[in-house]
């Protein structure tokens, strides 16, 4: 089996899991946050910078790589790791989420999804088989089953049919998977905001015995309490000896609440996307460095942070760079935000080890300036 | 005196000068190429990356910093070095070239230049005194006298009057300069494409005894042979114990021909600007990595290059990044082009040391695919 999850301990205070995920490209300490490198690059970052801020695994998007430069080219380059010069683990999504987001530009059938490229309008399709084949060509350590992420809100009947289809598609992905020895295929639990469908989906997928399970279809517009409720309905149905990945979640509060509910892996474009707009995650909460009040503020973005940006540059300089459209400003804010989340997860692991993650969460929220379950972003 | 030029030797084959320029922020080996960091940042680059490719000095633009973030802010930050975290030498231009480039948006008088900001249309002015004061606040190691760069072509009479005014302005800059102990003010020789005016300008300026001299008003649209002819008319009038800086020149052929004619310093946005468009300087000549023929070319940009981009990434990957508008692509092409020019100057210095710069030039041109005096860019 390509990946192996090792459970080190469970936090006595919360039930959160401290673990290690062994993959062909190295070990990941969990719970972990995965920076997103959509087009075979975490925007603005070098692999060395990602390593120096502590990233152990990154995510890349199958939909985007399928369109450009194409999975065959990446395969010819020796796989995604070699193509982008990243020798640590990579997780690829299945492309499902992206093609469904195209809304009017796609059509779903039992076979798969037909859609038009957002780049040039070409008519294309992805099926459970082809999405798996594309990810086999990319050579990620972890690939995801092709699923449908139903919109929110959606009718119960639609979500039920969609979730059942996702289960049928998951089985087709397993059959199509050509590299189980060095790539681990994770199933994705769907079920919308319906407890019974979440349970049904989890039961369906675990019966197929995937090496890991993702929880999809959350963080799609629902409230944080509802997301946490759905997590609580899903996680207990997943086996404890396999990793659990909550897709598309990256706000600090949700990383803490997700860890507490037994999640091991997270990814989100949030830290990198808001960084490019000059918005920072700091130990004092959200900060918009573009604001005029930082014009001649020569302190670091976050006085408690030890990242490259905070060690060497002032708010005034970074504000200047961003106002002047200088690329280096985006590098610095991106480094800071990724460092913030990656280091937050290191603190989470330490707190689990010491059976005090609940206390850590409470203290973090107080300092970060947010109540429980309230979004800071 | 803030800077001291040390002439190590003259190339027996060409007359090119090998030297060292001692400044408050370190020693620069000459001839040298200075990367341009217009807005207190060499676009996309970190100071560490600039150092690792061998840059010993960078240039920053007074006009841009005057407008944004303002020289008073930079002074409050502790000066430009500290503001941008660059502890090696910095040269600032005077802003003259930029305000004259605004064409319809500026008005020249004996007092100075009134112009409108390209950012917000504000009515502003720069005079010899204020341009010097701004650079004193920035704290560059080398500052430039406020000059007029006449357009090309221009009437003899206009160029004569402009050049005389530039001499009067140079004297006013010298008088206004508040930090001669730790900032060296260079005069700028003008004179258009007229031999007698070049000589007149050089005589005027050297009589004022600046610690260094720039040659301005070249690379403004004239042919390369004419530029070299003007250099030959100017350099002999400059003292051999002081540094000579040819402004705005950065094509590989012109760096070689300029060095051969006794120039010690060069700057240009060319390598960084073309990099952002996917155009590379390589040992085999000019290369446009966006071209379709590099789609599945997995060799480095330049097989003979040892830069970070060439050591770790393929043409196919860099092409993909640039086609996909990924910032990291621009970082890689910028690193490569700057490395190419900085290392070319290291080879020039080695060739001077060994009295074979003429031979080196001939061999370089043959390989680079250009005849003498013919532009590769």
Could you report the per-residue pLDDT of B254-291, keeping only the tens digit for each?
Answer: 999 999 999 999 999 999 999 999 999 999 899 999 99
Detail the residues of B annotated as belonging to a binding site.
93-97, 147, 190, 217, 305, 307, 310, 336
Nearest by Cα to A60 from A50, A29, A182: A50
Q: Do B40 and A317 touch (CB under 8 A)?
A: yes
| Predicted pLDDT at B372 | 44
How many residues does this entry show for chain A? Answer: 377
For chain B, what is the radius of gyration of the CA atoms? 20
Is B196 an active-site residue?
A: no
Distance CA A118, CA A134 (A): 18
Count H helices, E strands: chain A? Answer: 15, 16
Q: Do B316 and A69 touch (CB under 8 A)?
A: yes
Q: Do A320 and B68 touch (CB under 8 A)?
A: yes
Is B87 an active-site residue?
A: no
Nearest CA in chain B to A276: B327
Q: How far is B120 from chain A (nearest CA, A)?
A: 13
In order of A99, A332, B54, B78, the CA distances from A278 in angstroms are 29, 10, 31, 24
Percent of chain A with pLDDT over 70: 98
Average of pLDDT values for A128-136?
98
Detail the residues of B annotated as belonging to a binding site for substrate.
93-97, 147, 190, 217
User: Helix, strand or coil for residue B285?
Assistant: strand
Residue A375 has pLDDT above 50, yes or no: no
In order of A101, A275, B218, B271, the CA distances from A338 in angstroms are 25, 9, 46, 31
Q: Do A317 and B44 touch (CB under 8 A)?
A: no
Distance CA B14, CA B355 (A): 8
Nearest CA in chain B to A320: B69
Contacts of B77 in chain A (CB under 8 A): 296, 298, 314, 316-317
| Predicted pLDDT at A187 | 98
Known binder of ligand: residue A178? no
pLDDT band at A369 (very low <50, low <70, confident <90, very high): confident
For residue A241 the two structure tokens come to: 């000896």
Distance CA A113, CA A97 (A): 11
Average of pLDDT values for A271-281?
97
pLDDT band at A310 (very low <50, low <70, confident <90, very high): very high
| Predicted pLDDT at B373 | 41
Distance CA B161, CA B163 (A): 5
Question: Residues A287-302: pLDDT tens digits?
Answer: 999 999 999 999 999 9
Question: Residues A90-110: pLDDT tens digits?
Answer: 999 999 899 988 877 889 999
Distance CA A238, CA B373 (A): 72
Q: How far apart are the first and last CA of chain A?
A: 38
For chain A, what is the radius of gyration of the CA atoms? 20
Q: Is the peptide bond before B314 cis (omega within 30 degrees of 0)?
A: no
Q: Do A321 and B43 touch (CB under 8 A)?
A: no
Average of pLDDT values for A240-269?
98
Contacts of A44 in chain B (CB under 8 A): 327-328, 331
| Predicted pLDDT at B251 | 96
Known binder of ligand: residue A133? no
CATH number for the region B2-266 comes to: 3.20.20.105
Judged on CB neighbours under 10 Å (0-12, 13-18, 19+), A304 is: exposed
- The shortest CB-CB distance from A39 to any of B45, B64, B324 is to B324
- The shortest CB-CB distance from A313 to any of B85, B298, B312 is to B85
Nearest by Cα to B268 from B70, B22, B32: B32
Element housing A280 (H / E): strand A279-282
Contacts of A312 in chain B (CB under 8 A): 85
Average of pLDDT values for A259-270?
98
pLDDT band at A123 (very low <50, low <70, confident <90, very high): very high
In order of B1, B2, B59, B178, B351, the CA distances from B22 in angstroms are 10, 8, 16, 20, 22
- The shortest CB-CB distance from A326 to any of B39, B85, B321 is to B39
- Domain boundaries in chain A? 2-266, 273-366
- The shortest CB-CB distance from B324 to any of A44, A68, A77 is to A68
Judged on CB neighbours under 10 Å (0-12, 13-18, 19+), B122 is: exposed
| Predicted pLDDT at A247 | 98
- What pTM was estimated for this model as a whole? 0.97
Q: How far apart are the first and last CA of chain B?
A: 38
Question: Residues A147-185: pLDDT tens digits?
Answer: 999 999 999 999 999 999 999 999 999 999 999 999 999
Q: Quick check: A316 and A296 in contact, CB under 8 A?
A: yes
Residues of A engaging B, defined by a Cβ cutoff of 8 Å = 39-41, 43-46, 64, 68-69, 73, 76-78, 83-85, 295-296, 298, 312-314, 316-317, 319-321, 323-324, 326-331
Positions in chain B short of pLDDT 50:
371-375
Mean residue pLDDT across chain A: 96
**Phi, psi dihedrals of residue A125, rounded to the nearest 5°:** -145, 155
Contacts of B119 in chain A (CB under 8 A): none
Known binder of ligand: residue A15? no
Contacts of B313 in chain A (CB under 8 A): 85
Helices B128-138, B156-176: crossing angle, 10 deg rounding: 50
| Predicted pLDDT at A372 | 44
Q: Is the peptide bond before A153 cis (omega within 30 degrees of 0)?
A: yes
| Predicted pLDDT at A374 | 42
Helices (H), A261-374: 270-275, 308-312, 315-323, 327-353, 357-368
| Predicted pLDDT at A373 | 41
| Predicted pLDDT at B328 | 98
């Amino acid at each position: 089996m390509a990946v192996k999850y090792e459970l080190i301990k469970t936090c006595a205070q919360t039930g959160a899991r401290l673990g290690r995920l062994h993959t062909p490209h190295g070990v990941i300490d969990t719970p972990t946050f995965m920076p997103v490198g959509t087009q075979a690059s975490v925007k603005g970052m070098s692999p060395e910078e990602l390593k120096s801020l502590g990233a152990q695994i990154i995510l890349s998007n199958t939909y985007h790589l399928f369109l450009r430069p194409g999975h065959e080219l990446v395969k010819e380059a020796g796989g995604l790791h070699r193509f982008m010069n990243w020798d640590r683990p990579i997780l690829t999504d299945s492309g499902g989420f992206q093609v469904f987001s195209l809304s009017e530009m796609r059509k779903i059938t039992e076979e798969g999804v037909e859609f038009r490229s957002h780049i040039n309008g070409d008519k294309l399709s992805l099926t459970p088989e082809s999405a798996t084949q594309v990810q086999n060509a990319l050579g990620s350590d972890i690939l995801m089953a092709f699923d449908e992420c139903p919109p929110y809100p959606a009718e119960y009947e639609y979500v039920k049919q969609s979730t059942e289809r996702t289960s049928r598609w998951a089985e087709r992905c397993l059959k199509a998977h050509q590299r189980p020895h060095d790539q681990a295929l994770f199933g994705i639990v769907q079920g919308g905001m319906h407890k019974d469908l979440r349970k049904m989906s989890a039961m369906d997928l675990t019966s197929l015995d995937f090496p890991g399970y993702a929880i999809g279809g959350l963080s799609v517009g629902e409230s944080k309490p509802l997301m946490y409720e759905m997590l609580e309905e899903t996680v207990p149905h997943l086996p404890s000896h396999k990793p659990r990945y909550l897709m598309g979640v990256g706000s600090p509060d949700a990383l803490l609440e997700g860890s507490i509910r037994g999640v091991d892996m997270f990814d989100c474009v949030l830290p990198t996307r808001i960084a490019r707009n000059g918005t920072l995650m700091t130990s004092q909460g959200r900060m918009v460095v573009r604001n005029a009040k930082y014009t001649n503020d020569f302190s670091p973005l976050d006085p408690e942070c030890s990242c490259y940006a905070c060690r060497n540059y002032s708010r005034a300089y970074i504000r200047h760079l961003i106002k002047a459209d200088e690329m280096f400003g985006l590098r610095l804010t991106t480094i800071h935000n990724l460092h913030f989340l990656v280091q937050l997860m290191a603190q989470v692991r330490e707190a689990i080890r010491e059976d005090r993650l609940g206390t850590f969460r409470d203290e973090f929220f107080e300092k970060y300036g947010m109540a429980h379950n309230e979004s800071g972003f």
